[in-house]
Amino acid sequence: MTLESATRGRSPRSRVGRAPAWLVGLAAVCAAAAAIPLVYLVVRSADAGLAELADTLLRPRVLTLTLNSVVLAAFVTVTCLVLGTLSAWLLTRLRLPSARAWLLVSALPLAVPSYLAAYGWLVWFPGFNGFWASWLVLSVVCTPYVTLPVAAALRGASGDLEAVARTLGRGPLGAFRAATWPRIRPAAIAGGLLVGLYALSDFGLVSMLRFQTLTWGINAAYGASFDRNQAAMLALVLVVLALVVVAGERRSRGRVVHSPGRNAPGTIRPGRALVPALGVLLIAPGLGVAVPVAGLVSRLVDAETLREIDLVRLAEAIGATLGLAVAGALVAAVLALPVAALAARYRGRLVSAIESVGFLGHALPGIVVGLSLVFFTLSVMPALYQSVVVLVFGYAVLFMPKAIGTMRGGIAAVPGSLLDVSRMLGLSPLAVWWRVTAPLALPSVGIGALLVAISVMKELPATLLLRPTGISTLATELWNRTTVFEFGAAAPYAAALVLLAAVPAVILSGIRGVAKEEV
């Protein structure tokens, strides 16, 4: 039975038993590629033996690094949940002037890599370091991960029940907790998951601000003594923490509670509360974007900095960044497409397992993927050690989930009736894909590839570990100069990184607009 005939008379998603064997096999191979770093990391740690593993993990230094990582991630996640949820409520429940502009302003910190934000703060405050410094900058950079999904959920949640709770004598906070929070909790917890994973996996910011976490310990173990076993075991601890966060999010998000009645966002006049409300909305973009960008500009316009700019080296870094971004996006899209096509049209345990493995990179910090591929290539394919091939593959593993999620939605949106009609007209399954599914799903494929490209441009730890000798990106050039406190020399690379990452973001907005018009 063909793919299209299997869907006839059914919903676009069917049982996995109906899926073509070639599609299942191809998707399984592509998903398995994403599991290579984790599998080899486990094997590498197992080779050390239980005695060495226990000795390493029970060292006071390792316990301190683990505690630092957990506490920082917990503080940042709670802060982002509170600030992000409050910001989302203000954006959707108050009548703000230029509401859409304020939503855009609230999303701006997503465009600034954490290590670039840390760089901007260090320009103004060279002694800015430690736990509280890391907590502050990470929190303001990550707040949009909660604000945006919660704002979307609030637009779909009725304000009627919250108004009823207020008439029954509950205060604003009590009414929100009783009537609104159950409806937006899944979105808030999903955003909190992203924040927690980001905080656990961050390397550049905590290193610049001199707060030692597991990512710092992994890099130190690998770089100082090339202690493969210790670095691998620390990386495994970090992966376990990330998987615990993912599992906890799935258990705690609960079922989505649908809200009856009319939607009522933006029904409250702020009055005298307008200024404090706008002040709250400016916390994240002000501290996460304005302060770092101001520091960047102050260094960039300095006459001495302008005289010392190495234009050739800057051009080479821009070229390398663009080339790797394009290559990473293409490879990630190729690996993600079969998985997305299978998950979009079929359901079942095997499909869910393949899709989950494909999303594994979502829980793997960049430094873990980089370290795992270093070990893997040295042991299995030494000829590829520190090659562009391995670096691009590392990018694909890290950012494949971004492409899978976007492509899956686009392919699933193609009406099954069009596929049925195409098959009835005598087209082969391959012809149906190229002439019907591919053109309609192309915007989602482009969006997925651009999301990967933006992420590749900003990726730091995996690039530091896997890049070939002599190749430097804008991120690595910025890192190399800030680690020795050459803030003026780092400014041109930071500015180029911000401008370069803005290009695919603008293209991404255009593609989304076209997709909405077609729908």
pLDDT, tens digit (0-9, with 9 covering 90-100), for 68-104: 999 999 999 999 999 999 998 888 878 778 877 888 8
Tell me if 515 sits within 8 A of 443, measured CB to CB: yes
Estimate the crossing angle of helix 474-482 against helix 114-124, to 10 degrees. 30
Detail the DSSP E strand segments found in 307-427. Answer: 346-347
Instruction: Tell me the β-bridge partners of 268.
Output: 94
d(CA 70, CA 64): 10
Let me know: does 459 contact 476? Beta carbons within 8 Å. Answer: no
Q: Cα separation of 384 and 372, whole Å?
A: 14
DSSP annotation of 16 reads G
> Which residues are within 8 A (CB) of 32 and not within 5 positions of it... i.e. 6 or more apart?
357
| Sign of the C-alpha dihedral computed for residues 308, 470, 395 and 464 taken in this order | negative
**Do the beta carbons of residue 154 and residue 176 sit within 8 Å?**
no
Identify residue 223 by its one-letter amino acid code: G
* pLDDT of res. 498: 83
For 159, the 3-state DSSP assignment is coil
- Name 98's Cβ contacts closer than 8 Å, sequence gap at least 6: none
DSSP codes of every residue in 407-457 = HHHHHHTS-HHHHHHHHHTT--HHHHIIIIIHHHHHHHHHHHHHHHHHHHH
pLDDT value of position 259: 47
Residues 337-372 as b/e (b if ≥16 CB within 10 A, e otherwise) read: bbbbbbbbbbbbebbeebbebbbbbbbbbbbbbbbb
* Torsion angles phi and psi, residue 387, rounded to 5: -110, 160
User: What pLDDT, on the 0 to 100 scale, is given for residue 4?
Assistant: 39
Q: Which of 77, 112, 33 minimizes the C-alpha distance to 361?
A: 33
What pLDDT score does 150 carry?
Answer: 83
229 by Cβ neighbours in 10 Å (0-12 / 13-18 / 19+) ranks as middle
Q: What is the DSSP letter of 212?
A: -
Residue 340 neighbours by CB under 8 Å, 6+ apart: 403, 404, 407, 408, 411
Q: Which residue ranges of the chain lie beneath pLDDT 50?
A: 1-17, 255-266, 511-519
Distance CA 441, CA 459 (A): 27
Distance, C-alpha 317 to centroid of its chain: 23
Are 259 and 163 in contact, with CB atoms under 8 Å apart? no
Count CA atoms within 13 Å of residue 360 on its CB side. Answer: 22
How many CB atoms are located within 10 Å of the residue 92 CB? 25
Q: What CA–CA distance (Å, rounded) separates 451 from 371?
A: 24
pLDDT value at residue 171: 55
Separation of alpha carbons 368 and 394, rounded Å: 10
Q: Hey, what domains does the chain have and what are their CATH numbers?
A: 1-47+309-519 (1.10.3720.10), 73-288 (1.10.3720.10)
The answer to whether 140 touches 120, Cβ cutoff 8 Å, is: no
Q: Measuring CA to CA, which residue among 506, 479, 507 is closest to residue 494?
A: 479
Alpha-carbon torsion, ordered 376, 382, 388, 393, to 10 deg: -30
Cβ count within 10 A of residue 59 = 12
